[in-house]
Structure 1
Amino acid sequence: MEPVQHGEFRCTGLMQTAVDVMVSGRLSNELVVADGVARRLHSDGVLAADSSLLSVPGIGIADRIAAHPFGAARRRAELAAALASPLAESVGESYSRAAFEYLGFEQPVLQHVFSDDDGFIGRSDCWWPGQGVVGEFDGNAKYVDAALRVGITAEEAVYLEKLREDRIRCLGYGFVRWSWADVDNPDRLRGKLLAAGLRPRNPH
């Protein structure tokens, strides 16, 4: 493989580095990297929002994975590449989607836009249209990071988020929020998803 020069360092290129991670770790870590590659390719106009990394000609992901000598590692990498999406906007969303896969829930639609009679409500992190459930990963950043609050206080951010949730619930949909603590505790996350009305495709 041809090395890539980054400043004073010679490194493996983006695709090779991504495959090296995707064949060597947990799905959650692999999906973070795969989603990042998908965002990069999407911004470069190479990957459509609904396309798989495995289907893009010329980037070498599928061939590099297929060349790996160990079947279990190939399967993990193929799953991460198939699930990768440029629409995942945070590490928390990537970890959540890996948890959904582990727990046997369907993968959600990402960044779905909701509106009501008063107009635009917002984009949801996750949307399960077949089951009518909206999901939000609640990291601390949206409330404590001043740059993300765009000129409002943390208290105002919480209040506006509650109004947004209420408007979505009024459309007749279930609604579930989870945090890093839930992602780290699969049983607790499963309980929250079930309570919101989601049903797994492969119950554990």
Structure 2
Amino acid sequence: MTVFTTKSWMFDQDCDRMGMNRALRSGALVRLRRGVVMPAEDLPVWQLHRRRMDAAALTINHGTYFAFQSAALLHGLPVRIVEALPVQVVRTLGGRHTRNRLLQATPAVLDDADIAIVDGLPATGLHRTVTDLARRLPFPDAVAVVDAALRRGLDRHGLATPSGYGHARAARAVAFGDGASESFGESHSRARMALANIPIPQLQVEQFTADGRFLGRPDFDWGDGIIGEYDGGSKYDGTYGDEPRTVIEAEKLRQQAFMDEGYTVIRWGWKELQSPGVVEGRIRRALAGRPFRRAQL
């Protein structure tokens, strides 16, 4: 990572502050924190956030720890990082809540068990980060974090917060969490089903043909031969080392095998989840005529 202080960048470029501001406005230069800039790169939003964290770490004081979504990024928890999100820290040595475009600081009381050094940076520990996010995030995003925590072996009862800010919101997400969920999109889908009062399916249930041949393990299973699959983008972009064309062909054959056995297969992706009612309507049509069971939140 090539970063510069604003003074060194202006010196190297032989320009004044007005020239630097023009570079910032044009997008040729990116401000990481006050006094630190870097040349623009084509980076995913989460990587740019991480670089801003590295820059912030150069000046944060003792008793200050990365927290909330910033800490979640360090711990590898599934959270949405948007470009407008400032680096988030908590301060344990006093002060008040402050926020600007690049940094948000919140006063907090942390025990030794609440802190950790993660990838070389001071942060709230995994358990504290999960409970903080469960208190603050919308239900689908909180469920994704809780699912990931349960998948990594954290105790459900230990994640419950009996009192304090957002404790009811956190309790709902923790009670609904399921470590069998394998991705942010699957968790988000399941939470959306609950909010829409759609019957909650079982997760990752192995399916077999009538003669005992293994068919697969779909993401969602409502029984009666109705299954659902969330198509994450990484499945088809080579992230897991397979050629996209090979993955697509294998997925087509897998779906056809289910359909040959009489299954109803419902598919959707992240883009469809962003359109209110699209996925919910698709599932409801497939489940039409089945007994209704209200989702438990």
Indicate whether the TM-score tops 0.5: yes
Match of 1:77 in 2: 170
Larger Rg: 2
Shift of 1:192: 1.1
Aligned-residue CA RMSD in angstroms? Answer: 2.3
Which protein is richer in helix relative to its size? 1
Match of 1:31 in 2: 143
2:162 matched to 1:66? yes
Match of 2:235 in 1: 142
User: For this pair of structures, how many residues does the alignment match?
Assistant: 180
Q: 1:138·1:179 contact (CA, 8 Å) conserved in 2?
A: yes
Q: 1:182 aligns with which of 272, 278, 294?
A: 272
* Range moving further from structure 2, 190-199 or 17-26: 190-199
Question: Structure 2: how far apart are the matches of 1:179 and 1:161?
Answer: 14
Q: CA distance change for structure 1 residues 202 and 178 in 2, over 3 Å: closer, same or farther? A: same
Q: 2:198·2:284 contact (CA, 8 Å) conserved in 1?
A: no
Match of 1:57 in 2: none
Q: 1:39·1:86 contact (CA, 8 Å) conserved in 2?
A: yes
1:10-159 map, 5 Å? 10-41=122-153, 53-54=156-157, 60-62=158-160, 65-68=161-164, 70=165, 73-116=166-209, 117=211, 119-129=213-223, 131-145=224-238, 147-149=240-242, 153-159=243-249
SS of the aligned residue for 2:247 comes to helix
Question: Structure 2: how far apart are the matches of 1:97 and 1:148?
Answer: 27
Question: Structure 1: how far apart are the matches of 2:272 and 2:294?
Answer: 20
Shift of 1:104: 1.0
Q: Which amino acid aligns with 1:102?
A: L
Question: Structure 2: how far apart are the matches of 1:186 and 1:95?
Answer: 13
Match of 1:6 in 2: 117
SS of the aligned residue for 1:124 comes to coil
Question: Structure 2: how far apart are the matches of 1:146 and 1:14?
Answer: 26
Question: Structure 1: how far apart are the matches of 2:174 and 2:197?
Answer: 18
Q: CA distance change for structure 1 residues 139 and 175 in 2, over 3 Å: closer, same or farther? A: same
Cα deviation digits, residues 38-86 of structure 1 (max 9, x gap): 0111xxxx66xxxxx13xxxxx322xx1122x5xx32221121112122
Higher relative contact order (CA 8 A, sep 6+): 1
Question: Structure 2: how far apart are the matches of 1:67 and 1:192?
Answer: 38
Question: Structure 1: how far apart are the matches of 2:212 and 2:256?
Answer: 13
Q: 2:272·2:279 contact (CA, 8 Å) conserved in 1?
A: yes
4+ runs deviating over 3 angstroms: 7-10, 198-203
Q: Percent sequence identity over matched residues?
A: 29
Question: Structure 2: how far apart are the matches of 1:26 and 1:78?
Answer: 13
Q: 1:128·1:134 contact (CA, 8 Å) conserved in 2?
A: yes
Q: Which amino acid aligns with 2:116?
A: Q
Question: Structure 2: how far apart are the matches of 1:137 and 1:170?
Answer: 20
Q: 1:31·1:83 contact (CA, 8 Å) conserved in 2?
A: yes
Q: 1:103·1:186 contact (CA, 8 Å) conserved in 2?
A: no
Shift of 1:146: 5.0
> When the two structures are superposed, what TM-score results if normalisation uses the length of structure 2?
0.55
Question: Structure 2: how far apart are the matches of 1:109 and 1:95?
Answer: 15
Question: Structure 2: how far apart are the matches of 1:66 and 1:146?
Answer: 40
Shift of 1:148: 4.8
SS of the aligned residue for 1:172 comes to coil
Shift of 1:202: 4.9
Question: Structure 2: how far apart are the matches of 1:36 and 1:10?
Answer: 21
Q: Which amino acid aligns with 1:61?
A: L
